[in-house]
Amino acid sequence: MFTAPPEDSIDRSGGLRPAGVGSAGSASPWWRDAVIYQIYVRSFLDSTGDGIGDLAGVRAGLPYVSKLGVDGIWLSPFYPSPQRDHGYDVADYKAVDPVYGDLDEFALLVADAHRLGLKVVLDIVPNHCSSEHPWFREALAAAPGSEARALFHFADGKGEHGELPPNNWRAMFGGPAWSRVEEADGTPGQWYMHLFTPEQPDLNWRDPRVAPYFDEVLRFWLDQGVDGFRIDVAAGLFHHPDLPDSDDPGADERTRDSVNPLAWNQPEVHGVWRRWRAVCESYTAVDGQDRLLVGEVSVPTAAEQAAYVRPDELHQAFFFHLLSAPWNPDAFRKVIGEALRDIAGTGSTVTWVLNNHDQVRTVTRYGSDNSAAGAARARAAALLMLALPGAAYIYQGEELGLPEVDLPDEALTDPIFLRTGSRQYVRDGCRVPLPWSGHASPFGFTGADSTARPWLPQPGWFADHTTDRALNDTDSFWHLYRNGLALRRDFHLRGDATLRWLETPPDVLAFVRGDGLVCAVNFGGQDVPAPVPGTPLLASAPSPAGVLPGNAAAWWAADPPGAV
Ligand code: NOJ
């Protein structure tokens, strides 16, 4: 039943990949197919009893992460910050917010992670800083046209008295992308640009002081031993130099303006990534260890994304099109095919992601039509992701099968909600502190004797998803992820970018990796015959012999290798 149609095969092995790209000459650098676990520090584990996760908590939880079998951790921002966007508003790029710990605690964390064989990737936010950053405070105090204001995008308003914003761009988190300041004499003055909240002023990367400042930030953390950076808003930084109005007819009404081509994805940004790559390579030249740059690159197509992962730019860029694909085989096959053709096909690696701290969790997202199916589909999608060539990221709680939490309005803290009053894009529901143990909140997240509650309320049903339970239940999400990660290693898929689609019935996708790992996903609700002969390795649902259940995925070892 499953034969390979040659016109639809994708084989990226061997010659297509430039030897040693981005590495100190090694054939397959560690990051090309690494699996990184994203730790949202506020919500991972609280060591101090204040209801907020912290670095000592992360350190205490490292053995749990290591047991899962990932290659490293990405830590969400823990820098001093007024927390208007939960740390993505950085007031000091070279320190630790006391809420999360201090630099000594960070050093211990890095040492422990490395002892466990885990890489440490920090989150860095170069598009904007906090309005509490010293640069912005100086800019506010300084006069229009001053050097201090040149570090940001200050402009005079339109209208008779400058009462209208300089252009019609919208902020991602609602409202105009501009706020007006009061000048030193108390009069209404210039406007400054912020593509997110007003407390996150955009930096002006055309000012020659900005790039060297961030070089220093990178070096500061690299000197502390970090292994790389996740780059926030990596398609941002530069805007059209004239800041013209957007001619998108919907621009005035839309609350989020993620597609304004004047505000994002400008050619100059690539120069920054080349510069950052050079900083990383200067460390590699000393010790031979690759440092990783992974970008949050939200651009419309895989082909545009490929430009960000050219050999002298970022190592990885999250491929969000998989995350946004609806649960159907055509959508999945299309985005996977595009990624492999346009990104892997140019010699880079695809970086797959199904969940993060900004997205509705897969269990809920795939279950909008049928909540029972949501968990089954999330499990299947996980096996699919882990079988694909390239790197992958797992967001804390994904390995516990956590659904999104439906929080009441009064509990919401996301600036998107606070600024728009709309729950449509609200992200608190995927950020609720992790359940570790026990039957009631705080579920071991914070000490039981603590008077503080977790910063977002945990629902009672979290009891079904604690790490303790997951580790003791071999049918849990956790064991599925762990087994998938182990098999991925055992199958020697590292460094191999081959994927060959198999012919399947309409509801099923199947492909072969290397010389014999078959992954098949049944997107339909009905059982189908097991796709290929061979030895079953792992399935996302109990699978009677010869059957691939509905909303399930399975891996087989082709027997003999190359038989399919
Ligand atoms: C993307 C981050 O993932 C998100 O959490 C943040 O709010 C925005 N960038 C702005 O920094």
Provide the total of helices (H) and of strands (E) in the chain, helices listed first. Answer: 13, 19
Give the residue ranges of the chain where pLDDT is below 50.
Answer: 1-26
* pLDDT reported for residue 256: 60
292 contacts: CB under 8 Å, gap ≥ 6? 31, 34, 119, 121, 227, 228, 229, 280, 315, 316
Do 552 and 379 touch, CB atoms closer than 8 A?
yes
Q: Which residue has the tokens 């606070």?
A: 418
To the question of pTM greater than 0.85 for the whole model, the response is yes
* pLDDT reported for residue 494: 62
DSSP per position, 265-313 = --TTHHHHHHHHHHHHHHHHHHHSPPPEEEE----S-HHHHHGGGSTTS
* pLDDT reported for residue 254: 54
Which tokens go with 212? 């060297």
Q: Which residue has the tokens 């820098």?
A: 79
Ligand 1 and 135: CB distance under 6 A: no
d(CA 194, CA 219): 27
45 within a domain of the structure (yes/no):
no
How far is ligand 1, taken at its centre, from the CA of residue 231, in Å?
Answer: 10
How far is ligand 1, taken at its centre, from the CA of residue 395, in Å?
Answer: 15
- Please give the angle made by the CA atoms of 156, 419 and 124, to the nearest 5 degrees: 80
d(CA 386, CA 421): 37
Ligand 1 and 353: CB distance under 6 A: no
* pLDDT reported for residue 213: 98
Is 140 in a helix, a strand, or coil? helix
Q: Which residue from 88, 257, 320, 360 has its CB within 8 A of the most atoms of ligand 1, so it is best to mutate?
A: 88
Rg (CA), the chain: 24
Q: Which residues pair with 353 in a beta bridge?
A: 393
| Active-site annotation, residues | 232, 296
d(CA 408, CA 342): 42
Work out whether strand 228-231 and strand 119-124 pair parallel, antiparallel, or are unpaired.
Answer: parallel
- What separation in angstroms does the CA of 529 have from each of 122, 181, 190, 329? 45, 66, 67, 17
Ligand 1 and 264: CB distance under 6 A: no
How many domains does the chain divide into?
Answer: 2
530 within a domain of the structure (yes/no):
yes
Q: Which residue has the tokens 């197509």?
A: 301
* pLDDT reported for residue 560: 67
Distance of CA 524 to the CA centre of its chain: 28
Return the DSSP state at 107: H
271 contacts: CB under 8 Å, gap ≥ 6? none
Residue 538's domain comprises: 500-557
Do 452 and 51 touch, CB atoms closer than 8 A?
yes
Out of 156, 173, 193, pick the residue that ends a domain.
193
270 within a domain of the structure (yes/no):
no
CATH number at residue 518: 2.60.40.1180
40 within a domain of the structure (yes/no):
no
- What separation in angstroms does the CA of 261 have from each of 247, 293, 395? 10, 24, 29
How many Cα atoms are found within 13 Å in the side-chain-facing hemisphere of 96? 20
Out of 193, 211, 233, pick the residue that ends a domain.
193
Do 279 and 211 touch, CB atoms closer than 8 A?
no
Q: Which residue from 232, 257, 294, 430 has its CB within 8 A of the most atoms of ligand 1, so it is best to mutate?
A: 232
550 within a domain of the structure (yes/no):
yes
* pLDDT reported for residue 467: 98
544 within a domain of the structure (yes/no):
yes
Which tokens go with 448? 């039981």
How far is ligand 1, taken at its centre, from the CA of residue 250, in Å?
Answer: 23
Which tokens go with 485? 């990660």
Out of 175, 193, 211, pick the residue that ends a domain.
193
Q: Which residue has the tokens 């990221």?
A: 393
* pLDDT reported for residue 532: 78
CATH number at residue 184: 3.90.400.10
281 within a domain of the structure (yes/no):
no
156 within a domain of the structure (yes/no):
yes
* pLDDT reported for residue 1: 28
